Amino acid sequence: MSVPSFGVGTFRLEGEVVKNSVLNALEVGYRVIDTAQIYGNEASIGEALVESGVPREELYITTKIWVDNMSNAKLIPSLKESLEKLQTNYVDLTLIHWPGKNENIEEYMQALLEAKSLGLTKEIGVSNFNIELLDKAFDAVGKENIATNQIELSPYLQNQKLVSYMREKGIKVTSYMTLAYGEVLKDPLIIDIAGKYKVTPAQIVLAWALAKEFAVIPSSTKRENLISNLQAQQLQLTSEDLDLIDGLERNGRQVSPDGLAPKWDD
């Protein structure tokens, strides 16, 4: 298996809002859903998945283990609880959400690998890991078992050192907050390029990320935005456009919670 390049995110969406978002996404063609234990929306997503009528084998569902559950005693039971909420026997991908203090990285990575061997998840990976922690994860379970590292990545934060390392090691880059909470959509350059192609600024940014072979998981509560985001897959930017967008780098990190985030690679 390999991590799909385009899905829908559900961060900060709960209750009927997330349920409607997922139902709309599935109706317009999405088949990849990204959630996490800490989002508090797995049960609502599970309801949407059942109501949609989309066969389970057509879906690719990702969830993430929260730091409170990163131990031998808690990881697998917490994942089983996630499966109950999502109303499925397995997820396609399970990630460690944040490294936290990471002293027990070997313990929780091996517990995650055990979850895979039990059939609770088809693939495993990590999120918000720097190069040092990726190496520790490789040592714990083998590089071949790490499907992706999901990281904050946008035209304003391109994580070039980490991305280059992941490519060298054959690890898929999954970008979250690709639109930088919408900030990058206001950028004059992005607006100008969008005007040239007669598309939305979001489509331009997503097409840029896809051109770099990143997986993306943008979220939206609006059906029309879900549709237009999906259409970014058909948009081909020129090398000149890509270079111009690359020039927007400003180390614009927006998410780095104390006690959870690692020391980021320069």
User: In this structure, is residue 257 part of a structural domain?
Assistant: no
pLDDT in tens, 125-140: 999 999 999 999 999 9
User: Domain for residue 65, yes or no?
Assistant: yes
* Residue 247 maps to a domain: no
CATH number at residue 108: 3.20.20.100
Distance CA 223, CA 11 (A): 17
Res. 1: pLDDT tops 80 = no
- Tokens coding 107: 């313990």
- The DSSP-derived string for the chain is ----SB-EE-TT--HHHHHHHHHHHHHHT--EEE--GGGT-HHHHHHHHHHH---GGG-EEEEEE-GGG-STTTHHHHHHHHHHHHTSS-EEEEEE---TT-TTHHHHHHHHHHHHHTTSEEEEEEES--HHHHHHHHHHH-GGGEEEEEEE-BTTB--HHHHHHHHHHTPEEEEESTTGGGGGGG-HHHHHHHHHHTS-HHHHHHHHHHHTT-EE----S-HHHHHHHHHGGG----HHHHHHHHTT---------TTTS-----
Identified catalytic residue from 30, 39, 60, 156: 39
Mean per-residue pLDDT for 19-39?
98
Q: What is the largest CA-CA distance in the chain?
A: 55
Predicted pLDDT of residue 38? 98
Average pLDDT over residues 38-47: 98
Phi and psi at residue 164, to the nearest 5°: -60, -40
If you average pLDDT over residues 13-20, what whole number do you get?
98
Instruction: Tell me, yes or no, whether 20 lies in a domain.
Output: yes
Does 193 fall in a domain? no
Does position 51 have pLDDT exceeding 70, yes or no? yes
Q: Is residue 150 part of a domain?
A: yes
Mean pLDDT of 212-232: 98
> Vertex 29, ends 27 and 33: CA angle to 5°?
90
Q: Is residue 246 part of a domain?
A: no
Residue 10 assigned to a binding site = no
Rounded percentage of the chain residues whose pLDDT exceeds 90: 97
Is residue 77 scored above 70 in pLDDT?
Answer: yes
Number of compact structural domains in the chain:
1
Q: In this model, does residue 228 exceed pLDDT 70? A: yes
- Note the pLDDT of residue 266: 79
Q: How confident is the model at residue 163, as a pLDDT?
A: 98
* Tally of CB atoms within 10 A around 251: 10
Residue at 237 is within a domain: no
Give the pLDDT confidence score for residue 102 in this predicted structure: 78
Q: Are strands 32-34 and 146-152 parallel, antiparallel or unpaired?
A: unpaired
Question: Is there a catalytic annotation at residue 156?
Answer: no
CB neighbours of residue 55 within 10 Å:
8
pLDDT for 103 equals: 82
Q: For the residues 45-53, what does the mean pLDDT come to?
A: 98
Which domain covers residue 93, as residue numbers? 8-179+214-219
